[in-house]
Amino acid sequence: MMRAPVKLESDNWSVDEARNIYHISRWGGGYYDINARGHVVAKPLPGDDTAVELSAVIEAAQKKGLSGPLLIRFQDILRHRVQSLCRAFDEAIERFEYGGQYHGVFPLKVNELREVVEEVLDAGKDDAFGIEVGSKSELSAALALQSNPHSLLICNGYKDANFIHTALMGTRLGKRVVLVVEKLDELQNIIEIARSEGVRPQLGIRLRLLSRSTGKWADSGGEDAKFGLDTAQLMTALEILREEGWEDCLQLLHSHIGSQVPDIQTVRKAVQEAARFYAKVRQLGFPVEYLDVGGGLAVDYDGSRAAFDSSANYSLREYTDDIVQTIGELCEVENVPHPNIVSESGRAIVAHHSVLAVQVFAANSKTEGMQFEYGKQEHPLVQGLLETLCHLEQSSKLTAYHNALNCKDEAHNMFTLGVLELETKAKVETLYWEISKKVIEHFRNQEGHVPEEIEILEDQMSDQYICNFSVFQSLLDHWAIDQLFPIMPLQRLNEVPTREATLVDITCDSDGAVRKFIDLEDVRGTLPLHSLEQDGRKLSPYYLGIFLVGAYQDVMGDLHNLFGRVNEMHVFLDPDKPSGYYIEQTLHGHSIGDNLTTMQYDRLELAHHMKQQIDRAIKENCLQPEEGARMLQEYEHGLDNYSYLSF
Ligand SMILES: Cc1ncc(COP(=O)(O)O)c(C=O)c1O
């Protein structure tokens, strides 16, 4: 159920009102706020006064020749997230007098970008923060990047001989590479390859827990999960290891019930089940050292702190406390040593650190169009609507709306049959939207129930703000699985937003849109935004920030319509700089040529084809030779342009 917008009053409007309607302090995790100028600021180190105005970063990017869409990364947020997670586990371990240690690993698939991974590893170097991989490509990157012999390198996912061989390379280099068995025959392969190479592998087994999460990633757990060994298969695996005399190779038991687990009860139950497996396996004489609780630590995207898909009903401290306490208590009862705890949190580490800034460059409005003069000889449908409008004050608003809707439908039918002129149709539609607007205002201004059809009408009446970005490149999970992200203007937050809008991107695909927005109680169908014009004049560029996009979105996006990777600015705090920060890195997004190369086009060949056509046009006297030369040059230079619109 979508929630209807609330009327915003311009009297008493303040930045605090903006904080409330966009819920910035609820989802921002202390990293984002609004300053007195009405601009969004990032505060990469909560508690520190340094605030980076996002619009200033956009300006700095423009000076360096980088236009929007622009991904802004705050490297300090990444560091803070890693360290917060490690401290939360350490504190829980101390609080519950837990006997093991915490070892975090970063699942590469959540964001494989080198800058991100290097920052995570550097932030976690004192905590021996490791890496989790799920493919040969990820393993190749992780083996080279991770040099700390105390950090774990956990290999999940299905493995072929090549994967196993590469992982064992790490073992021979003295790294803690754990090959997690996802299927029984994988274990046989690992044993054979390790034996032939004379290496004793460090093994893990993924448990197929019966505990299931809820929400969009629930299928990662439960009996039908894609990965893991069920109890009978686990027994067989233990038997195989025993026969081999490799009991001590089994060092880790792994579980993962899905990403973004919204409910802490689910976390607790899954950990309890995994810990019970650990205890039983230990009692069978296998000296397992690590219990890996997987990923799943959720991000509160909508700030509602509820067990809802886009949220979480728990804090980081509650999460770490519950895991440590649950495992500790169960081990006491089962009389087994406390294992070292491993977690594979991805989303919770990287989501906050990046913001996508997109420019709104135009709006489609239902009530914008020609202004008509109405005479005495109007078509009966137009006359009917004029009368409805004239008597609207005294009439039932719902009846007036129904009459208007009826006229609009009739006009549509008559036009299709060829018995209504274009101008009459335009007049009917203009009057219909005018009446609808007044009816909506009436319901908005009164207390009490708003009929559902009026709520739907209100969404239909909203503007479409056209944004220079691609949902398929930058916000894939919104398109694919309806995931919600916090979105808000980056400036003018000291002004009341007077429009309600949905967002559309620049791909030629009607799915390239955002029509669902965060709300504390439900989902909103529109977003309150500022008008792009004043007195018929276009106001200065209007930017929206799409927040918490650092997890998965950065790396899963596709090239639909050949809109490629976006420009990036990496911001680092520096107390020695007057602004308190510096731009550590600027990365150019994909050019048109880059995108075409990805799709197997060759730049030289394309230019050659163009030249042939230009030469032909010159020969046929359609072009002057100088014009032709200029055209070819422009075409070739154009391939270096950013694939998004430039203003
Ligand atoms: C095995 C494994 N570990 C860790 C993760 C990361 O999960 P999250 O990003 O929710 O922490 C995933 C993602 O689904 C996963 O499949």
Determine the residue of 85, 219, 259, 345 to mutate for testing ligand 1's pocket, defined as the one with the most ligand atoms within 8 A of the Cβ atom. 259
> Residue 568 Cα, ligand 1 centroid: separation in angstroms?
25
74-108 tens-digit pLDDT: 999 999 999 999 999 999 999 999 999 999 999 99
> Residue 552 Cα, ligand 1 centroid: separation in angstroms?
10
* pLDDT given for residue 8 in this prediction: 67
Residue type, 266: T
* pLDDT given for residue 614 in this prediction: 98
* pLDDT given for residue 49 in this prediction: 87
Query: What number is the average pLDDT over the span 537-553?
Result: 94
Within 110-245, where are the H helices?
114-123, 136-145, 161-172, 184-197, 231-244
Q: Which atom of ligand 1 is nearest to the CA of 261?
A: 10
Lowest mean pLDDT among 206-215, 300-309, 319-328, 597-606: 206-215
> Residue 207 Cα, ligand 1 centroid: separation in angstroms?
15
Q: Which atom of ligand 1 is nearest to the CA of 217?
A: 14
Smallest CA separation from ligand 1 atom 7, residue: 295
Smallest CA separation from ligand 1 atom 13, residue: 259
> Residue 71 Cα, ligand 1 centroid: separation in angstroms?
23
> Residue 288 Cα, ligand 1 centroid: separation in angstroms?
22
DSSP states along 201-236: -EEEEEB--S----STTGGGSSTT-SS-B-HHHHHH
Smallest CA separation from ligand 1 atom 14, residue: 259
> Residue 258 Cα, ligand 1 centroid: separation in angstroms?
6
* pLDDT given for residue 5 in this prediction: 60
Strand-strand pairing, 354-364 and 463-467: antiparallel
Determine the residue of 103, 256, 477 to mutate for testing ligand 1's pocket, defined as the one with the most ligand atoms within 8 A of the Cβ atom. 256
* Residue 16 CA from chain centroid, whole number: 26
> Residue 300 Cα, ligand 1 centroid: separation in angstroms?
16
Confidence of residue 448 (pLDDT cuts 50, 70, 90): confident
> Residue 326 Cα, ligand 1 centroid: separation in angstroms?
21
407-435 tens-digit pLDDT: 999 999 999 999 999 999 999 999 999 99
CB 550, CB 351: distance < 8 Å: yes
Query: What number is the average pLDDT over the span 2-13?
Result: 66
What is the distance between the alpha carbons of residues 207 and 249, in angstroms, rounded to a whole number? Answer: 17
Q: Which atom of ligand 1 is nearest to the CA of 227?
A: 1
Q: Does 219 have pLDDT greater than 80? A: no
Q: Which atom of ligand 1 is nearest to the CA of 156?
A: 1
Using alpha carbons, list the distances in angstroms from residue 529 to 294, 308, 513, 533: 39, 25, 16, 12
Q: Does 518 have pLDDT greater than 80? A: yes
In our burial notation (b when 16+ CB lie closer than 10 A, e otherwise), range 447-474 reads eeeeeeebbebbbebbbbbbbbbbbbbb
Query: What number is the average pLDDT over the span 266-282?
Result: 97
CB 559, CB 595: distance < 8 Å: yes
Smallest CA separation from ligand 1 atom 5, residue: 295
* pLDDT given for residue 92 in this prediction: 98
Q: Which atom of ligand 1 is nearest to the CA of 344?
A: 4
Determine the residue of 155, 220, 344 to mutate for testing ligand 1's pocket, defined as the one with the most ligand atoms within 8 A of the Cβ atom. 344
* pLDDT given for residue 366 in this prediction: 79
Instruction: Choose the most confident range, by mean pLDDT, from 91-105, 220-234, 366-380.
Output: 91-105
Lowest mean pLDDT among 70-79, 145-154, 437-446, 501-510: 437-446
> Residue 212 Cα, ligand 1 centroid: separation in angstroms?
14
* pLDDT given for residue 410 in this prediction: 95
> Residue 173 Cα, ligand 1 centroid: separation in angstroms?
27
Q: Which atom of ligand 1 is nearest to the CA of 297?
A: 11
Q: Which atom of ligand 1 is nearest to the CA of 258?
A: 14
Determine the residue of 108, 109, 116, 266 to mutate for testing ligand 1's pocket, defined as the one with the most ligand atoms within 8 A of the Cβ atom. 109
* pLDDT given for residue 647 in this prediction: 87
Please enumerate in sequence order all residues whose Cβ is within 8 A of that of 432, keeping only pairs 6 or more positions apart, or say none.
385, 404, 405, 407, 408
Task: Tell me which H or E stretch contains 408.
Answer: helix 397-417
What is the distance between the alpha carbons of residues 531 and 465, in angstroms, rounded to a whole number? Answer: 10
* pLDDT given for residue 47 in this prediction: 82
> Residue 297 Cα, ligand 1 centroid: separation in angstroms?
9
Q: Which atom of ligand 1 is nearest to the CA of 551?
A: 9
CB 218, CB 298: distance < 8 Å: no
* pLDDT given for residue 3 in this prediction: 57
Q: Which atom of ligand 1 is nearest to the CA of 110?
A: 9
* pLDDT given for residue 9 in this prediction: 67
> Residue 517 Cα, ligand 1 centroid: separation in angstroms?
25
Q: Does 58 have pLDDT greater than 80? A: yes
What is the distance between the alpha carbons of residues 200 and 246, in angstroms, rounded to a whole number? Answer: 8
> Residue 324 Cα, ligand 1 centroid: separation in angstroms?
19
Higher pLDDT, 176 or 536: 176
**Token pair for 493:** 């937050």
Q: Which atom of ligand 1 is nearest to the CA of 298?
A: 10
Closest CA to 436 of 401, 386, 463, 479: 401
> Residue 168 Cα, ligand 1 centroid: separation in angstroms?
23
Confidence of residue 69 (pLDDT cuts 50, 70, 90): very high
What is the distance between the alpha carbons of residues 17 and 495, in angstroms, rounded to a whole number? Answer: 10
Residue 395 half-sphere exposure toward CB, CA atoms < 13 A: 17
Q: For residue 302, which phi and psi values (nearest 5 degrees)?
A: -100, -5
Report helix, strand and coil shares of the chain as percent, to nearest 5: 45, 20, 40
Closest CA to 360 of 564, 500, 532, 493: 532
CA R_g for the chain: 30
Determine the residue of 103, 106, 110 to mutate for testing ligand 1's pocket, defined as the one with the most ligand atoms within 8 A of the Cβ atom. 110
Neighbours of 575 (CB within 10 A): 8
Residue type, 188: Q
CB within 6 Å of ligand 1 — which residues?
107, 110, 132, 156, 220, 256, 259-260, 294-297, 344-348, 551
> Residue 344 Cα, ligand 1 centroid: separation in angstroms?
6
552-593 tens-digit pLDDT: 998 999 999 999 999 999 999 998 998 899 998 899 999 999
Query: What number is the average pLDDT over the span 270-278?
Result: 97
Confidence of residue 369 (pLDDT cuts 50, 70, 90): low
Q: Is 11 left (phi over 0), alpha (psi -120 to 50) or beta?
A: beta
Q: Which atom of ligand 1 is nearest to the CA of 345?
A: 11
Smallest CA separation from ligand 1 atom 4, residue: 295
Closest CA to 615 of 623, 604, 607, 605: 623
Strand-strand pairing, 176-181 and 202-206: parallel
